Structure 1
Amino acid sequence: MPIVVLLAAAVFAVPLFKRLGLGTVLGYLAAGLLLGPSGIGLIADPQSVLHAAELGVVMFLFIIGLEMEPARLWSLRKQIFGLGAVQVGVCGLLLTGVGILLGFAPAVSFVFGMGFVLTSTAIVMQILGEANQLSTDGGQKMVSILLLEDLAIVPLLAIVAILAPSTGEVSMVTRLTGIGLALGAVVVLIFLGRRIMNPVFSLLANAKIREVMTAAALLVVLGAALLMQSVGLSMAMGAFLAGVLLSTSTFRNQLEADVEPFRGILLGLFFLAVGMSLDLSVVAASWQIIAVAVVSYMIVKALAIYVIARLLRSSHKEALKRAVLMSQGGEFAFVLYTTAASSGLIDGPTNAIFTATVIISMVLTPFALVGLRYVMPKPVQSLDGVVVPEDLSERVLLIGFGRFGQIASQALLGQGHSISIIDNDVEMIEAAATFGFKVYYGDGTRLDILRAAGAPNADLVLVCTDNKEATTRIVELMRSEYPLVKVIARSFDRQHAIELRKLGVEYELRETFESALSFGAQAIRELGATEDEIIEVVAGVRTRDKLRFEAQLLGGIDAGRDLLISNAIEQAREGGVERPAEQPVVPEAAEPVRPT
């Protein structure tokens, strides 16, 4: 019953929170809070769930370890171990000081501050991914910092174990024995990872039994975790070391694929358990300290990130965005606080205060980003060395000089036609200039730019932009202002092609249609089809697509689908398959016509 309830809560809450832009982590936390003792009380003992769900964190760290290939670490060494280390160190020091000012003991303040330093990887990666900024310079810097923060959880867990109060007198011999056992366990794990694991996985792979490979992957993760736990270190550290040792293994991808489903479910269960563990009565009794902690921690962390970014020569815009986006605490804070509570370093009420502080900061992040849009400086694109069109008079106007436009222009240039080319990407214009192309800066969706680019006097306008809405807007302007000028356009998909045809373009081409057709032709060529057969098949596909397109243009999507079914039935009949009597017969015009 509890498992069914937990799964149902996750299935409903997580997609809802993601749709609201609040992230999956907050969805899990909210669902857990609802089910726990502070909510409707369906789960009375969240600690029992939490202990089992900690395996999700173990597997998460194993996957992080798998991604820590030495080559990748070396290529990002300056950003990870330079920028990342500086940000984590400075923010940790400042937030520890804030904790002391709030009245916590130094060791407790350290745990509180360092937990808050660990930014939510889930939130930041989701926001960067949705904005297509993961591959940008600013995005790569944030990813590098997140990477170091993920790595930092391993030594932080070890430090928590050291700071934890001892239960009695411990002799020096006992301490030295513990350190020796820990080092010995690490050495054993390194030996197994380097010498034993790959041969074992090779034997299992040759057996070709998928479930055994999955069991072996889980055995590696849990075995390494238990080995570290048995000598007084954290399970997470063991899993991480196992992942690093296998990061260059030929079975790395297989291991990651086998562990990933368990990691996702158990990590979600961990966040559910954290939400259930949040004691709202303690939060209500300590709302003043929580409110002060949220505001002070987020402001101090954001200011520190901004100053560090500016000192390391990031632009004001990049530094401001990084400061706002990374000012919250993250999911690894829950791991650190839970470990600290389990070891006796902090008590239950303090854990509730810390957890509530991090959760509220995560909730505030999407709203802070909305506010950022109003204070973010407007992007100003430098036009140094870029020419703006002014009364151009070439016979052909090409709008959009990306990959599609560059290829399309070659036939025109080969025939000696003079072309005016405009684009609104300054970097692309500068790159084109190095190859001898004269590209003018201009936004084709503006009527004044079209006029200056010579659209009124052009014989032909080629709309080659890679933005669906921009292409439609340009065609609308051309048809309303210059209806006698011929326009051909690049369309995004079939529906966009129909839209452009209805607007009156002379010709449109779906951007992937011809390449996909050639690709399919090569596929059947590789499978042994003769050139005559390829010509006939491709002509048939082209003809049926044209008929279906015309039917959709005149009668809507359903008409095109009906014609497609008819075509398929008639084609089956031609191949000797009996046609169902209830289906309409395709018109003769739909028969593939072999070109002469």
Structure 2
Amino acid sequence: MQEQHAFPFLREILLFLILSGILIPTLQRLRINQVVGFLAVGTLVGPFGLGLLAGDIPWLAFLTFPRGEGISMLAEVGVLFLMFMIGLELSAARLWAMRSWVFGAGTAQVLASAALLGGALLLYGLDTQSAVVLGLVLSLSSTAVVMQLLAQQQATGSRLGQAAFAILMLQDLAVVPILLLVGALGRGAGDGVAMLALATLAKAAIAIALIYLVGGRVVHRLFRSFAEHRQPDVFMALILLSTFGIAGLSAAAGLSMALGALIAGLLLAETEFKHEVELMVEPFKGLLMGLFFMTVGMNIDTRQILEAPLLLASLVAGLVLIKALVVAALLRLGGQSWSRAVEGGLLLGQGGEFAFVAIGYAVTSRVLEPGLGAQVMLVVGLTLFITPMLAKLGHAIGERSGRAAPDAAPDQQQLASARGRIIIAGFGRVGQQLAKLLGEQHIPFIAFECDAKLVSKLHAEGKPVYFGNASRPELLRHLHANEAPAIVLTMDHPASALQAVRGIRREYPHVPLFVRSRDEKHARALRLAGASVVVPETLEASLQLSAFVLEAMGLDERQVDGIVDHERAVVTARLLEPEAKA
């Protein structure tokens, strides 16, 4: 008993880890959406599934969650990191690059869907406050589900995929005012609700601005100071401190902790440490999101489906139909064909994961009745279950006419191809000179450097330079290195360069790999490891010096160029001989 009090909910934690260890690889192998999989398993093993039988079958209690509170605390941690990751995706540069779709189509989708859904709920018999809140909440779609489905279809770079992502980005931004509205309504009892709501929103806006401005400076300085140690444990500690610290400040200001976690992600998205942060959180992202969605599944009362199947079916169909029509109309106005517009509408027709957070917050704030909140969460959960089927139907409709008309216009194809940037690992003198020449030729690149002070200086100047080691396989996968025109290694340390070449060539055998070497011996080892082109720094320096000396001795420029080119060819050929002696 004492052990149980010392470590509460140990059985639930172990059961969740066992299920995750089985589920995550199984779902990946079967190509089943992880969100849907965790929802289904949560429903099955939750208190309204097999947990109902745990009282009659004692051994079943060890394989189920008869009480949902067992992992509710960990689920809240999952919510915080879910919001944190959403914030990391919403960088100002990304929003501005797609501003017409994000702020145009995205805003129109949220407002139109909220108006239609809110109006339908008023006709259904809800009061104005509940209809407004639920209309806004249900207007949002699931970023986690939609992006995974687009990735499975290899359509994230298509014209439809870019438009869907832009709408989802605006929906993620809409989280902030919706949370503020729910909090304001929760404090406004009796007369003067509107005035109190406006006052609360104004105070919240000031609090967010202060947290964002002050927190941004503090967080950036912390990361810049401690990143010099290059220790993963220190970096992870800073991420946790930023997430929970800003979430705590948000709660102290009377806002939700989820909103604070979103702000923390937004702050780090604007720094040169963004990619390194994403890599550090990535291993835990699936686990924490799975924890959150499994808990959501546990709250789905399957008995309600049996009690009123027709009502729930009509509510699910109504939600999907209204949102699909709004999205399809906007995509058609944006230049998509009718078939692609219908495909996009079906893809974005579900409720979003944020609905579970907002509705739970609204219930605890007494903005919504618990029974109504449970019913709406059930409807949203059911729409998530049927989304893969709707996406397949929409994809079939889109492909039918997509054979005749290409999905991407020329300008969109150029936008998609711009995703393949040259990757520069190491941004010292050689890397900076290369970047200067690439920039003058308008060739896109992204660079990584482990010197935090140098990165901060160059990033502040607007250069695409980030903190991190670009030879790490997980970072290269994150950067879609398979689409890169080339990877260039300019790092000083010979052993690090050799290790990087081996790792990159193992992961990406066909990507051109250009490497700077210390000397001829080092160059030969790099060539044997798989480098496409190796440039010994001593060779080029000696050839340039020799050229100047020969010209000073009276040889003409063409004669000198021939001599230098011949010597370079001889040395390069020698590098290609595995058994050549140094």
The 1-side partners of 2:348 and 2:332 are apart by 15
Q: CA shift at 1:522, angstroms? A: 3.4
Deviations 1:322-375 (A, max 9, x none): 111111112122222222222222333322321221222222222223334554
Q: CA shift at 1:90, angstroms? A: 0.6
Identical aligned pairs, as a percentage?
31
The 1-side partners of 2:327 and 2:344 are apart by 7
Q: CA shift at 1:539, angstroms? A: 5.7
Deviations 1:409-456 (A, max 9, x none): xxxxxxxxxxxxxxxxxxxxxxxxxxxxxxxxxxxxxxxxxxxxxxxx
Task: Determine whether 1:330 maps to 2:341.
Answer: no
**Under a length normalisation based on structure 2, what TM-score does the superposition of the two structures give?**
0.63
The 1-side partners of 2:141 and 2:194 are apart by 38
Aligned to 1:520: 531
Task: Determine whether 1:225 maps to 2:284.
Answer: no
Of the three residues 39, 48, 73, the one matched with 1:29 is 39
| Structure 1 contact 128–139 (Cα < 8 Å) conserved | yes
Task: Determine whether 1:286 maps to 2:296.
Answer: no
Question: Any idea what SS the aligned residue of 1:378 has?
Answer: helix
Q: CA shift at 1:24, angstroms? A: 0.5
Task: Determine whether 1:105 maps to 2:106.
Answer: no
| Structure 2 contact 142–351 (Cα < 8 Å) conserved | yes
| Structure 2 contact 251–257 (Cα < 8 Å) conserved | yes
Residues 164/382 of structure 1: CA separation in 2 closer, same or farther (3 Å cut): closer
The 1-side partners of 2:116 and 2:302 are apart by 28
The 2-side partners of 1:527 and 1:286 are apart by 79
| Structure 1 contact 66–246 (Cα < 8 Å) conserved | yes
Q: Which amino acid aligns with 2:97?
A: S
Of the three residues 316, 319, 322, the one matched with 1:300 is 322
The 2-side partners of 1:97 and 1:68 are apart by 30
Q: CA shift at 1:198, angstroms? A: 2.1
The 2-side partners of 1:521 and 1:17 are apart by 37
Q: CA shift at 1:219, angstroms? A: 0.9
The 1-side partners of 2:367 and 2:570 are apart by 79
Aligned to 2:20: 10
Q: Please list, as runs of the form range in 1=range in 2, the aligned pairs for 1:213-292 lying within 5 A after superposition.
A: 213-292=235-314
Deviations 1:386-430 (A, max 9, x none): xxxxxxxxxxxxxxxxx9xxxxxxxxxxxxxxxxxxxxxxxxxxx
The 2-side partners of 1:96 and 1:215 are apart by 43
| Structure 1 contact 18–27 (Cα < 8 Å) conserved | no
The 1-side partners of 2:207 and 2:19 are apart by 40
Residues 539/216 of structure 1: CA separation in 2 closer, same or farther (3 Å cut): closer
| Structure 2 contact 20–287 (Cα < 8 Å) conserved | no
Aligned to 2:138: 116
Q: CA shift at 1:114, angstroms? A: 2.8
Aligned to 2:448: none
Question: Any idea what SS the aligned residue of 1:153 has?
Answer: helix
| Structure 1 contact 92–110 (Cα < 8 Å) conserved | yes
Q: Which amino acid aligns with 1:378?
A: S
Q: CA shift at 1:216, angstroms? A: 1.7
Q: CA shift at 1:168, angstroms? A: 8.0
Task: Determine whether 1:126 maps to 2:148.
Answer: yes
Q: CA shift at 1:89, angstroms? A: 1.0
| Structure 1 contact 15–24 (Cα < 8 Å) conserved | no
| Structure 1 contact 119–326 (Cα < 8 Å) conserved | yes
The 2-side partners of 1:263 and 1:512 are apart by 29
Q: Which amino acid aligns with 2:353?
A: E
Q: Which amino acid aligns with 1:12?
A: I
Q: Which amino acid aligns with 2:401?
A: K
The 2-side partners of 1:29 and 1:175 are apart by 35
Question: Any idea what SS the aligned residue of 1:246 has?
Answer: helix
The 1-side partners of 2:49 and 2:511 are apart by 52
Residues 264/342 of structure 1: CA separation in 2 closer, same or farther (3 Å cut): farther
Q: CA shift at 1:297, angstroms? A: 1.3
| Structure 2 contact 343–397 (Cα < 8 Å) conserved | no
User: Which of structures 1 and 2 has the bigger CA Rg?
Assistant: 1
The 2-side partners of 1:76 and 1:83 are apart by 11
| Structure 1 contact 111–336 (Cα < 8 Å) conserved | no
| Structure 1 contact 10–31 (Cα < 8 Å) conserved | no
Deviations 1:70-92 (A, max 9, x none): 22222211110001111111111
State which drifts further: 3-12 or 242-251.
Answer: 242-251
Q: CA shift at 1:113, angstroms? A: 3.1
| Structure 1 contact 189–242 (Cα < 8 Å) conserved | no
The 1-side partners of 2:194 and 2:404 are apart by 65
Q: CA shift at 1:156, angstroms? A: 1.1
Of the three residues 46, 49, 55, the one matched with 1:39 is 49
| Structure 1 contact 69–248 (Cα < 8 Å) conserved | yes
Q: Which amino acid aligns with 2:68?
A: P
The 1-side partners of 2:162 and 2:12 are apart by 41
Aligned to 2:84: 62
The 2-side partners of 1:101 and 1:174 are apart by 27
Question: Any idea what SS the aligned residue of 2:110 has?
Answer: helix
Of the three residues 401, 407, 410, the one matched with 1:378 is 401
Of the three residues 211, 219, 242, the one matched with 1:197 is 219
| Structure 1 contact 178–231 (Cα < 8 Å) conserved | no
Residues 156/382 of structure 1: CA separation in 2 closer, same or farther (3 Å cut): closer
Question: Any idea what SS the aligned residue of 1:226 has?
Answer: helix
| Structure 1 contact 65–243 (Cα < 8 Å) conserved | yes
| Structure 2 contact 574–580 (Cα < 8 Å) conserved | yes
Q: Which runs of 5+ in 2 are unaligned?
A: 1-10, 52-63, 407-416, 418-508, 515-526, 541-567
The 2-side partners of 1:103 and 1:170 are apart by 23
The 2-side partners of 1:81 and 1:124 are apart by 19
| Structure 1 contact 521–534 (Cα < 8 Å) conserved | no
The 2-side partners of 1:172 and 1:125 are apart by 37
The 1-side partners of 2:235 and 2:512 are apart by 41
Question: How many matched pairs?
Answer: 418
The 1-side partners of 2:193 and 2:154 are apart by 56
Q: CA shift at 1:29, angstroms? A: 1.0
Q: CA shift at 1:141, angstroms? A: 0.7
| Structure 1 contact 282–349 (Cα < 8 Å) conserved | no
RMSD between aligned alpha carbons? 3.7
State which drifts further: 239-248 or 22-31.
Answer: 239-248
The 1-side partners of 2:370 and 2:535 are apart by 67
State which drifts further: 44-53 or 72-81.
Answer: 44-53
Deviations 1:14-48 (A, max 9, x none): 44445555411011111211221112223233245
Residues 306/194 of structure 1: CA separation in 2 closer, same or farther (3 Å cut): closer
